[in-house]
Amino acid sequence: MGRRMSYAVKETFLTVQGEGGQAGRVAVFLRFAGCNLWSGLERDRAKAVCQFCDTDFVGTDGPGGGKFASAESLAAHVKSYWPGGGKPLVVCTGGEPLLQLDEAAIAALKAAGFEIAVETNGTIEAPEGLDWICVSPKSTAPLKQRSGHELKLVYPQADAMPGLFENLDFGAFRLQPMDGPHQMENAKAAFEYCLTHPQWSLSLQTHKWIGVD
């Protein structure tokens, strides 16, 4: 795999992971710009494969955003957010981070001392070297990454119901209620589904409960 010319980052910030198997852990969130399932523009939402996304991943103008000419400069940027101590963790998200997160960036982040987690829609096979792979399938998008540490399914999705994924090779299967005006209704539905299908566990976005990123 060749080196990228540059990396485009929407935002970077230090937070506490609020959901999934790494919940409660301090992490640098590295949000890459761009996605392959939606342009990020409201005018295109109705035509997008994923129509429920609530994340701004367009451009490089967010806090800690920018373009980085090399994997080393990207890793140095991420390292500048870590306060010291503990086990440094970077969560690579988007948009779709695997459009940009390549072997060079993984090597540079490892050299900077970070464990690397990725949150991906699963439409691109993950490169080697990742410490935590969380796949979140979206609607009818083809799933190419069919193994990992956790599969986190936003629920409900008419075209992506849990039964389609339960035989895949993941360490954990989690249902996360879809955000939006019907969030509480969706949370109750996810709760009931987990009760009757205990292969699945309920994933709640605790960071939203306490009003932080």
Binding-site residues for substrate, please? 16-18, 31, 93
Angle between helical axes of 71-79 and 103-111 (0-180°, round to 10):
40
Active site residue 50: yes
Q: Which of 11, 12, 32, 35 is catalytic?
A: 35
Our answer to whether residue 159 is catalytic in this structure is no
Assess whether 54 carries a catalytic annotation: yes
Q: Is 35 among the catalytic positions?
A: yes
Tell me phi and psi for residue 75, to 5 degrees: -65, -40
Q: Which segments are annotated as binding site for [4Fe-4S] cluster?
A: 35, 50, 53
Which of 11, 19, 29, 134 is catalytic? The answer is 29
Catalytic residue among 11, 96, 119, 150: 119
- A 10 A CB-CB count for 54 gives 7
Choice among 115, 131, 206, 207 that is catalytic: 207
- Quick one: which H or E segment has residue 109? helix 103-111
Which member of 55, 56, 72, 102 is catalytic?
55
Q: Which residues are annotated as a binding site?
A: 16-18, 31, 35, 50, 52-55, 93, 95, 136-138, 176-179
Residue of 205, 19, 27 whose CA lies nearest to 131: 27
Catalytic residue among 11, 19, 50, 123: 50
> Would you call 194 a catalytic residue per the annotation?
no
Q: Please indicate whether residue 77 is annotated as part of the active site.
A: no
Among residues 11, 12, 53, 96, which one is catalytic? 53
User: φ, ψ for residue 89 (rounded to 5)?
Assistant: -130, 130
For residue 58, count other CB atoms closer than 10 A to its CB: 16
Q: The sheet that has 132-135: what strands, in order across it?
A: 66-68, 7-16, 26-32, 89-93, 115-120, 132-135, 147-155, 169-177, 200-202
Active site residues: 29, 35, 50, 53-55, 119, 207
